[in-house]
Structure 1
Amino acid sequence: MKTSINTTNKFSALIILLVTLLTTSCEDKIELLPEDLTVNEVVFSNGALALGAVTGIYNRAQQDDVLNGTLQFSSEWQADNVDFIGTFTTFGEIRDYATLAANTSIFGIWDDNYEVIGAANLVIDNVPLIQDDSFTAEQRTQAIAEARFMRALVYFNIATVFGQPLQISAGSDNLSVPLVVSSELGQELPRATLGQVYDFVESEFLAIIPDLTDGTRILASPGACRAFLARLYLYQERWDDAANFANDVINDSFYSLATDYTFYDSPDATEHIFTLVNDAVNGQDSGQGFSGLSNPVPGGRGDVPFSQDLLDAYAEEPGDLRFDNLNQTGPGAEGPDRIFTNKFPEDVNNSDDAPVMRVTEMYLTRAEANLRGSTSIGATPLDDINELRNRAGLSDLTSVDLDIILNERRKELAFEGQRRMDLLRNSQSLRRPGQVNEANSAPGADKTIFPIPQAVRDLSPFLDQNPGY
């Protein structure tokens, strides 16, 4: 039986309400920061309430626009894995590379992710000030570290969609997102560079590793920090660092490859490094998350079927359990039957857990980093890829190259929001020849990244807009 983090603290319902008051935007003012100081004083009046505020950060991250599907599928729609066949014009714009700065779904992604950042900043700034002798130093350290973890994770995610990657044009100097790292009111911060955001994310994850508790898959942990650092170093083409950190996670006995593909909604499965636990009350909402969008009608929206190109990739090797065990057929939003993923089958309550980071990715990261760095840290690229293929019911390969590794990443991580960055960081177009809008999907093309929402720029005109918007 799943245990939600939202039911582990008797103060959580109160704190979630208070954090909502602290971080929700007013109608006439879009805030990156909280402004209700009276509520702030209540939330951080004692240690128990402060720990509830930490729970509130995770709750905010359960919004579809943060870690629960909309952001992840939006990146997939730009790439070659999935189609969008729904009725939301804002999602259709993303698919068609016709996104407008006034796109309300893009605004939702921006606003909801900064709500998480704002909630984290409140904890980081206020926990050290709480006058409560029963609130131990260890509890304070853990609370601040969890808040820093969630803040760093959110910054890492939004940096990949609101600015060009390191491999494009100005590299580390590409404009990214504002770095709001304090709950101080009245800040007007310009967009940081991608290099500045990545430096911040790296320093945060490294700093909090000693402060976090091991033995959890549903909260911040040292293993999760190392795993996200491995992903960051892969994006930065720091091959030795990527391989070493991935290897550290693989060698942690708390994690191991699941024997089959039934782990997605099992938070105790050894496959998971970090997963958000959803239930019928807390988690995905409005049918716009992993479960609601990816299931056929009538239970789901039937919006996100396999692309024919992804189906063809699986068909190259019949018997791939990553397809055979994880697909379903049913009516799509436009009527005819389509093939959908079965990674998130709970289409009534939309309560499937979010697969934020799993150990399979570490094998793929180690394989790619070792290949590109001409090393064999922990294992050879061939051994890592064959281990994953064996679980998928496929025969061993005798050699691997970058194309093979990227294809394995594609088939392992499909529908989890990784494909877009895997293509862009390898200077590949997001669409394959023959797919629509291929010309607009080239690395560095204007609309391969999202606009700074117009509603944000109306109130913060110092935020430079991305080209093409």
Structure 2
Amino acid sequence: MKKYSLYIITVLMSFGFTDCSDFLEQETGNRSSVDEQLATKEGVVTALYGAYTSLENLLRSEAFTVYADLQGGNLSFSPTASGTNKGQISVSSNVENVYAFQDLALSSHFSSFYSSAYSVINQVNLILEFVPLLPNTSEQDQAAIQAQCKTIRGYVHFLLLQLYAQNYTYTTDASHLGVVYQTLTLNSGISYAERATVKDCFDFSISDLNDAISLYQQENTLLEGPDYSYFNSYSAKALLARIYLAQNNWEQAYQLANDIIENSGFTLSSSATYVEEWENTDAPINEVLLEFSVPRDAEGNVGASMSAYYGINSVTNYGKYVASLDLITLFEENDVRKKLFISNQLATLYNDELVDETYYFTKKYQDNAGYIAFRLSELYFIRAEAAIYLKNETVAMQDINTIKERAGAARITTTANLLAELLLEKRKEFCFEGHLFFDIARTHQNVERNQGCISNVCSLSYPSPKFVLPIPQSSININSNLEQNESY
């Protein structure tokens, strides 16, 4: 893989959008300023930077960033560092209801995520509307812009599906409710759409991504900055492989994963450098296909990063989230991934007395860490899982062992219980990276949170309506065609 050095991108974001609900309530006359800004290639490229900025903010929001690991059982909470509540362990107020599988439609912790996600979708839809009209813009540049926008659109809709719709195989024909798949810009006074079926939503996303992949160029000549900060043909293929896996389309998932592994030029980080690469917070690890890098100002100062939730600077200055003991106990003694945990003794309140207790933070998100969307290891897991269902257990075992050997963990020597072995290994490899709960739902497993769980509900049996979130009531108030999820 080509090694990129991180450098600062300074972009004046003159093009911006409010969240989706505010946008829908604007007067139509405000559209003229948008028309003016999108009338040139320069304005459209600036708008595309803006869409990436909005997407990075969306992914880095607390509720979404911790959701899959928190719900699945990889995360616990650190004690309060100081003040009258020093040592107390409590659920972050930003995820309190979600953690208990009791989010509320009227005051959902994800209400801003929902509206902001559709705002990002609307941004790229607006760009797509203007691209064919751009003067002095080559067909190659138009194609590059369209590829970026269609990939972002497919990605954000898939994120919404994971949160608000039951997994693809919840019904035999995927006819259950998905989300509104928005391919047109939203304007005041329009007739709002209903939620499409999950099958239709998957078909729409797959179509967007196939279109995008056909449009990508060999080299990115459109957007400045590290290539790993933007979608390209291989990270778009990685997304599509993830979607095919969620659809149980084993053949397509296998082929795409295999293509990326064999032809992308990316290689797995080595066992010798694995921990060191994670510790280097100014650039992602070598095998990253896409990282949404942290925002920086004109002087290069970081505005915010994932360390806000997972970082630790001292025993009195640290983030809210730590590894659960359920997770920590999964690692073998010689597993190099154990070195990615920072153990600290923190004052903890027990029976009105402060005692030192050990907590485990992650090195994955210290200092200037960005949001990692795709890395090569995932494609080995996708190929392996698809291979299991395609009755090619030899390839599946080889791919699982490739990751285990890199970690220094014991190889598997039998094809018995391959799926369980794969899911366990994937849980360890991608802890803190937002996979676990979605894998649990996708494979029809039960949630079992044990050590460190401080919710009234620590387990959740599949199937359950609580595997999905409520559509925020504020959005239903705007679009009366939206049907609420069961139990909310």
Give CA-to-partner distance per residue, 1:230-273, whole Å, 9 cap, x none.
Answer: 11111111212111110000012421101113444464653011
State whether structure 2 residue 364 is matched by structure 1 residue 370: no
d(CA) in 1 for partners of 2:291, 2:431: 16
Sequence identity (%): 22
Aligned to 2:410: 395
Matches for 1:241-252 after TM superposition, within 5 Å: 241-252=252-263
Q: Which amino acid is 1:342 matched to?
A: K
Deviation of 1:30 (Å): 5.8
In structure 1, what residue type is equivalent to 2:37? V
Q: Tell me the SS of whatever aligns to 1:181.
A: coil
Return the letter of the residue paired with 2:131. V
2:313 and 2:275 map into 1 onto residues whose CA distance is: 23
Alignment partner of 2:461 out of 438, 442, 445: 442
Give the TM-score normalised by the residue count of structure 1. 0.87
1:95 counterpart = 2:88: no
Match of 2:16 in 1: 19
Residues 70, 34 of structure 1: alpha-carbon distance in 2 compared, 3 angstrom cutoff: farther
| Structure 1, gaps ≥5 residues long | none
CA offsets 1:41-68 (integer angstroms, 9 cap, x no match): 22212111111111111111111x3356
Cα distance change on mapping 1:107 and 1:34 into 2, 3 Å: farther
Per-residue deviation at 1:323? 2.0
Deviation at 1:79, TM superposition (A): 1.2
1:404-460 C-alpha deviation (Å, 9 max, x unpaired)? 110010000111110011111111112256765567522232222110001111222
**Are residues 371 and 465 of structure 1, via their aligned partners in 2, closer, same or farther at CA, if it must alter by over 3 Å?**
same
Query: Which residues in structure 2 correspond to 1:219-238 (within 5 Å)?
Result: 219-238=230-249
Separation in 1, partners of 2:475, 2:215: 35
Give yes or no for contact 2:234–2:264 (8 Å, CA) kept in 1.
Answer: no
For structure 2, the 5+ residue unaligned runs are 78-88, 220-226
Pick one of 149, 152, 160 that aligns with 2:151.
149
Q: What does 1:74-153 correspond to in 2, within 5 Å?
A: 74-84=67-77, 88-130=92-134, 132-133=135-136, 135-153=137-155
Find the counterpart in structure 1 of residue 287 from structure 2.
271
Question: Higher strand fraction: Structure 1 or Structure 2?
Answer: 2
**TM-score for both structures, normalised by structure 2:** 0.84
| Superposed displacement of residue 390, structure 1 | 1.6
2:178 corresponding residue in structure 1: 176
User: Is the contact made by 2:100 and 2:457 (CA closer than 8 Å) also made in structure 1?
Assistant: no
**Aligned residue in 1 for 2:194:** 190
Q: State the partner residue of 2:425.
A: 408
Question: Aligned partner of 1:203: which letter?
Answer: S
Distance 2:143 2:36 in 1: 20
Instruction: Report the CA distance between 1:226 and its aligned residue.
Output: 1.3
Partner of 2:372, secondary structure, is strand
Q: Return the alpha-carbon distance in structure 2 between the equivalents of residues 368 and 166 of structure 1.
A: 16
User: Counterparts of 1:413 and 1:248 in 2: how far apart (Å)?
Assistant: 21
- In the alignment, which residue of structure 2 is the partner of 1:361? 378
In structure 2, which of residues 49, 53, 56 is the aligned counterpart of residue 55 of structure 1? Answer: 49
Equivalent in the alignment of 2:471: 452
Matches within 5 A, 1:269-308: 269-281=285-297, 290-296=306-312, 302-308=319-325
| Distance change (3 Å), C-alpha of 1:313 and 1:262 | same
Any conservation in 2 of the 1:292–1:300 contact (CA below 8 Å)? no
Tell whether the 8 Å contact from 2:73 to 2:326 is kept in structure 1 after alignment. yes
Shift in CA distance, 220/76, structure 1 to aligned 2, threshold 3 Å: same
Q: Cα RMSD over matched residues?
A: 2.9
Q: Equivalent residue for 2:222? A: none
**Structure with more relative contact order (C-alpha pairs < 8 Å, separation 6 or more):** 2
